[in-house]
Amino acid sequence: MHRSAPPPLSLFRWKSSMSCLPSFSAVLLALLATAATAQNAAAQNVAAAPETVVSDPAKPFPQNRVKDFYSRQAAAFLDSGLQAPADLLPQFPGLDGGGFGHWGQNPEDVSFDRSLNETETGNVVCQLTRHFGRTTAKAVNVLLDQGSGTSVMFDPEQHTFSEAWDGSFVVWGFVRFGLMDGVRIEGRRLWPHTTGQWLLPAGTSRRYVGYYRAGQRVVFVSQIGQAKVLQECRYENGRLVRSLLLDGALPSGATLQLATAGAAAQLVSGAELQGAVRITENSLTERLILAGDSGTAGLQVQDSSVRLVFGDRPARQLTLVLETFDGDAAARDASPPPGISPDAAPLLQSIAANVWPQDMRGQWAERRAETLAVPGTEAGPLAIDTLTLPHYPNNPFRSAMRIGGVGCLSDGRIAVATLMGEVWLCSGAENIGGSNRLSWQRIAAGLYRSLGLVVQQDQILVLGSDQITRLHDLNGDSETDFYECVTNDYPTTGGHDFCTSLQQTAAGELYWSVSSRDFGVAHRDSSGRIESLGSGLRNSNGIGVSPDGAVVLASVQEGTWTPASAIFEVSRGSYHGLNGPRPNHGRYGYDLPLLYLPRGVDNSSGEIGYLPQDPRLGALSGAALGTSFGACQAYVVLRDVVGGRSQGAIVPLPGDYLSGVCRVAFSSRDGSVLLAGTEGWQSYAAEDGCLQRLRRTSQPLVLPQSFEAWGNGVRVRFSEPLDPASVTADGFFCQQWNYLYSAGYGSPEYSVKEPGRQGHDYVPVKSARLLNDGCTVFLEIPQLHPVMQFHLHARLRTKGGAEIRPDVFATILNQREDFRDYDGYVKTAKRPAPDFPIAEKYEQDPRLVRQEQYGTNFGWVSGSLKLSFGAAPGLQYEPRVLRVPPGAKVSLAFRNSDPGMPHNAAIVRADAVEEFGEQSMQLASNPRAIATHYVPEDPRELCFTPILQPGDTYTMYFEAPQEPGEYRIVCTYPGHWRVMQATLYVLPADAPLPASAAAPIRSFVRMWSTGELTQAADSLQARSAVQGQAVFASAGCIKCHRLGDSGSILGPDLTKIAERYRGTRLLQQILEPSHEINKQYQTWVAVLQDGRAVSGLKLEESAESVTLLPNPLKPETKLVLPRAEIEELEASLISTMPANLLITYSQDEILDLLAWVQAGGRADDSVFAAGR
């Protein structure tokens, strides 16, 4: 799915029983755009909320989000004139005001993209590949023949071809833009190459050099001992032809194992054959012939394997021909071997001689795209120009332009890498402000998740999950002819384990982040040696390296054991918290970050780019520029060292970007900064990707350039002199809070002074002093202590008269001695420093204790039905269908085989899965919810596993229900449940599976909005009554609504709905049910004195109690709440009718449903075509 705006939703969707919630009054105040004065807020015993905190539903996503919460909070307080708040200041209310759940308007399905198989990727795809029951992590797949789909796989780690098939090329998944699953092979297997490998003497060196692309031909090069080995597969006359060229002598005894075939393999010979191997299996015969003069090389069957034995004098070029056929093998053996194209050998010989045919033009050199740039406004100190990308489908290849890397060439061209593995060159940046014309050329394709790019001496290096590739243009057409492997010496596990953010020092040493196997930050020095720096980094999407390599930073994303996004300074042996505390890493069990990033500023962080010292950058000269993939914004990173320990701060910069910026490059040609990015999980991207240019204007840019923590306050240096009259204590606002490091998903913002309470502490500033340099301000804060998050907001004026409103967000771990260089210094006795929160010790969930009791009963376990299933990369269960007999004792083993993510499995009745999944999502931000493994208390839940780390196994013991039924298996780890599902059928042994087990699951189509269907909705004609009636049933409308003589009366009767709503207005009621809610069916939310929140339709109300109906589908489940137990009772702005009911339906199906409802369920209405 490509980025589009979802319909606006109400902010009062949240309904939670989490004990971590603040009081309902505080939540409302933090969410609402209140017009109350600060004095009124103080009377309520809470501090004033920002004047405009809530998102505006009238605006499209992402403009309707909460922005600048902390800055507005500061402004509201300064405007109030209060000396101090009456209580804690409100914490950040959550993304989009907390009304959309933990991830705001960023559900998992925004990252579904089903267009990837439409992309013209070219005939090479490097990806983790699933093939015939096996997985190859660093596979290079090559399409040899478009018509037959004949393809081969080369394994760079084994330096040989490892698979051959026909029928189709590779198939992409769709979750997380197709990046989670890798690719899979669907077709007929031609040769059991999977066990192909070189058998070499001990100590023989091997190095994968890379591959050449000559049109559709692909030649792989490896260095094996002293020999350069070139290998190619071609498709000629229905046969696979494999060529090897040996440039140099192989080590003595070298053998190439081609396949393991057991007794099915036999050597054959014929009048025309010098030697061949034939394998017959599964009614298919494969014959491998070593054609032509091969010297001492020959095919042999050894130890059930087919091998190419080279001998002491093999021919320099060897040719293997693979035939696959049915019929009389003996007759085929007697026939002459096939002829080989005489044009094949010269290319390999030219490559071996380092001579590239200059008449060999690239495949895509003439297929370019053009766009128009959009210059940024000059109104502020920084302008953001948009170098408009040729987005899908407006480029020749229908490529999704999600950018994962950016770099600048000396001639002004800009190189970008995409997540799909393409590299493009953009020309024409110098035209911005003139013709604005940009030209785009694809110069490389087929790389594996390209999430980093640097330029070294005008050569482009691209980071993939499998290797770093240097691109070589050998004939001057800009297109890549040689894909050189710089290094692939780091782990690749696929799934959620990404390699990101390639960076280099001034000396050319390389750094990048590797999530696989918790490798950390990889450093490749000038000798080619690779070392790991740091570990325990959660999903790092960006690093930062100072020009001299002395400082290496890595950003992480909030989540399990990561209370907030953060930037860590990594080093050899450092550990940064993922997977919980470890000994020998300080009192908290991990090495604390340089700084935490508040969620209201950066909910998902990217790369940190070190900018050069350049006067064209002004206040940004020499700065470290951080990026927010989540907020689509940028900030300056400040670093301070106290007592040998680093700590830091950020200064947000003005301006929004069109996508999740996460990559940075400097253009020495014009002195600008290029920021590039992509949409994705938890990103406020408006477009699939972006490439934008940040540059100075004529307006003054004034920024804090250093932040220092002292024993009695903080010292901040600005880039320009300040007006002394503007430096007063009344012009500053400071607040602080901590986070809880735990196994929970993220953390609330906790008071420092009152540990355990959620909210911010106001930090009074005793005095503000401008120091002698005219640029540095000292804020006297006598009771300043170490704190995870410190926020400073200022209202200042420069000496030149410019008004500035900077924000600084810092982490204070160490403090210097008191600062004394000002008049009036007085030593103040300090209260003891409060400690940082320490993760609680949780008791085991009692539900797990109960179900594990079966596992201690040997007789019960020995007589149980034993089944197993597992989690696979790509948010999948394998297998997806299980069955057990009614009443059976079941031992169901679950293994998390996804190397990149934690998972669990909860089994719940199929008809309850929607409600159950939504309840699990509400637990995501509660640090105590890990004790329940994000599994809600629900009687319809059968059993569940704990959250398992990759590789872990857990067995569920349960007795199947006596009644046959259908149960859904879901992963309740935050964000997974909608996608990660399987089915358990409870059925007698002789009962067939229901037809639904074999039926394809409805797949995601689109997040439909009313606007895109308006024209069709207002001109309904020739619709299908049959399909409209079917959708009315399958979408669940019939469960709540009556239409004609069928349906239910739980919701409004729709038989005469056309008298009130028709066309677009009726469609809006279906697609956006919360737009206008019938008061009779409005949900009410009651927050109880014990902190629980319950909701339902209000059936009765009296002075003593309120009666709610939590589930309209179960009218007997009434809930009577005594008034004395109710703290707050509010009407919800969310309809009881679920949103997004039609995201798996096509436009025609939706319009037929609309027509069926509008017609009152009458098939004879004129809106329907006759017979439909």
DSSP assignments along 945-987, one per residue: ---B-TT-EEEEEEEPPSS-EEEEEE--STT-TTT-EEEEEE-
Distances (CA, A) of 184 to 154, 671, 796: 15, 44, 59
Which residues of 781-829 form beta strands (DSSP E)? 787-794, 796-797, 803-804, 807-812
Distances (CA, A) of 718 to 179, 619, 775, 789: 43, 9, 5, 21
Q: Nearest Cα to 466, choosing from 443, 482, 450, 454?
A: 450
Task: Say what the pLDDT of residue 180 is.
Answer: 78
DSSP assignments along 480-501, one per residue: -SEEEEEE--S----TT--EEE
- Contact (CB, 8 A) for 441 and 424: yes
- Contact (CB, 8 A) for 1127 and 23: yes
Task: Say what the pLDDT of residue 109 is.
Answer: 65
- Contact (CB, 8 A) for 695 and 686: no
Distance (Å, rounded) from C-alpha 182 to C-alpha 136?
10
DSSP class of 559 = B
Distance (Å, rounded) from C-alpha 543 to C-alpha 545?
7
One fold for 702-841 and 850-998: yes
Q: What own/partner pairs with CB < 8 Å and gap ≥ 24 does 1117-1123 have?
A: 1119/1094, 1121/1086, 1121/1088, 1121/1094
Task: Say what the pLDDT of residue 640 is.
Answer: 97
* Phi–psi pair at 319, nearest 5 degrees: -130, 125
On the CB side of 32, CA atoms within 13 Å amount to 11
Distance (Å, rounded) from C-alpha 840 to C-alpha 743?
9
Distance (Å, rounded) from C-alpha 80 to C-alpha 101?
31
Q: CA gyration radius for the chain?
A: 33
Distance (Å, rounded) from C-alpha 788 to C-alpha 167?
57
Task: Say what the pLDDT of residue 975 is.
Answer: 63
Mutual orientation of helices 1010-1017 and 1147-1158 as an angle, nearest 10°? 60
**Dihedral sign of CA atoms 8, 12, 16, 19 in order:** positive
Under-50 pLDDT residues of the chain:
4-55, 841-843, 925-927
Kindly give, in sequence order, each residue whose CB lies less than 8 Å from that of residue 693, ignoring residues fewer than 6 positions away: 376, 384, 385, 386, 387, 429, 432, 667, 672, 673, 674, 675
Distance (Å, rounded) from C-alpha 97 to C-alpha 206?
56
Q: What ranges do the domains of the chain cover?
A: 19-87, 190-348, 370-383+391-681+688-696, 702-841, 850-998, 1010-1158
Q: Nearest Cα to 631, choosing from 33, 69, 4, 2?
A: 69
* 3-class DSSP assignment, residue 546: coil
* 3-class DSSP assignment, residue 177: helix
Kindly give, in sequence order, each residue whose CB lies less than 8 Å from that of residue 818, ignoring residues fewer than 6 positions away: 710, 711, 712, 825, 827
**Dihedral sign of CA atoms 1004, 1009, 1011, 1017 in order:** positive
Distance (Å, rounded) from C-alpha 659 to C-alpha 668?
24
In CATH terms, the fold of domain 370-383+391-681+688-696 is Neuraminidase (2.120.10)
Instruction: Classify each residue of 1029-1051 as buried b or exposed e, where b means 16 or more C-beta atoms within 10 Å of its C-beta.
Output: bebbeebebeebbbbeeebeebb
Distance (Å, rounded) from C-alpha 616 to C-alpha 693?
14
Its CATH architecture, for the domain 850-998, is Sandwich (2.60)
The structure tokens listed for 391 are 């987005």
* Phi–psi pair at 848, nearest 5 degrees: -65, -40
Which amino acid is it at 1026? V
Q: Nearest Cα to 234, choosing from 168, 111, 123, 145?
A: 145
Distances (CA, A) of 1163 to 1044, 1047, 1153: 11, 16, 12
Helix H or strand E encompassing 995: helix 995-998
In CATH terms, the fold of domain 1010-1158 is SH3 type barrels. (2.30.30)
- How many other C-beta atoms lie within 10 A of the C-beta of residue 764? 15
- How many other C-beta atoms lie within 10 A of the C-beta of residue 987? 19
Distance (Å, rounded) from C-alpha 1066 to C-alpha 299?
73
Distances (CA, A) of 1159 to 589, 1000, 1022, 1026: 66, 30, 13, 13
Kindly give, in sequence order, each residue whose CB lies less than 8 Å from that of residue 572, ignoring residues fewer than 6 positions away: 531, 532, 533
Which residues of 436-548 form beta strands (DSSP E)? 437-444, 452-456, 459-463, 468-472, 482-487, 499-504, 510-514, 520-524, 530-533, 542-545
Its CATH architecture, for the domain 702-841, is Sandwich (2.60)
Distances (CA, A) of 495 to 17, 874, 893: 33, 6, 22
Distance (Å, rounded) from C-alpha 698 to C-alpha 383?
10
Q: What angle do CA 73, 803, 787 make, to 5 degrees?
A: 40
DSSP class of 715 = E
Task: Say what the pLDDT of residue 977 is.
Answer: 74
